[in-house]
Amino acid sequence: MAREKQLQALAEDFMCVTGVVPEIVYAGDPVLRTKTQEVDVEEGLEIGQRLGRVLKKYRKLTGMGRGLAAPQIGESKRVFVTLNENQEVDIFINPEIIRYSDSTNFFREVCISAGIISADVERSEAIRIKWIDGSGQEQEDNFSGDLARLIQHEYDHLEGILNLDRAVPGTISLATFDPLKEKLRDQPIPPTSF
């Protein structure tokens, strides 16, 4: 009975989000499976600002969400945003990950476009990326840990890849855990048995 109530609450929360944040598209929409196209800086900044507004609205409603990519609002463009530690939006226009570390970690990822579904995903511990920022300036930098993971997750959206596509076999499940308490691990979680 407790599990049924938990699942009902998840479904109700999801329905609330779809009503309040209708800009978001979900798994099954073809735009999420399409490799995106580069944009000029002006268009990238406009899309980035829109993404930031949608992400902040989603975060205010759910208390979660640290990044959002253009395909997640129906735009097949190479732009994503992240929220930094000051809760300000960082814009990434035409990003390119140019190096992935050999060392990896695991994390049960949720995704705004996957609704209430999660998956344990292995990603590189560190990356090097180049992009155009929210000031229209070219940047190149290294990222590691949680931020490297977030950037890789959002970058995958630009390549038409969902976190569910990268799931460790047997780990796709309903997100019945608190995503805010998840920690990076050096081993995957045990596969779910049904």
Residues tagged in the binding site annotation for Fe cation? 111, 153, 157
Binding-site positions: 111, 153, 157
What is the spatial distance between Cα 82 and Cα 90, in angstroms, rounded to a whole number? 5
Residue among 117, 24, 109, 114 nearest 73 (CA)? 24
Beta-ladder partners of 121 = 107, 167
Residue 123 backbone dihedrals phi, psi, to 5 degrees: -140, 165
159 counts as catalytic: no
Residue among 151, 163, 149, 170 nearest 110 (CA)? 163
Q: Report the sign of the C-alpha dihedral through residues 22, 109, 169, 78, in that order.
A: positive
**Planar angle of CA 59, 114, 187, nearest 5 degrees:** 95
Instruction: Return the SS3 of 42.
Output: helix
Selected catalytic residue, list 4, 23, 154, 182: 154
What is the spatial distance between Cα 170 and Cα 191, in angstroms, rounded to a whole number? 4
**Active site amino acids:** 154
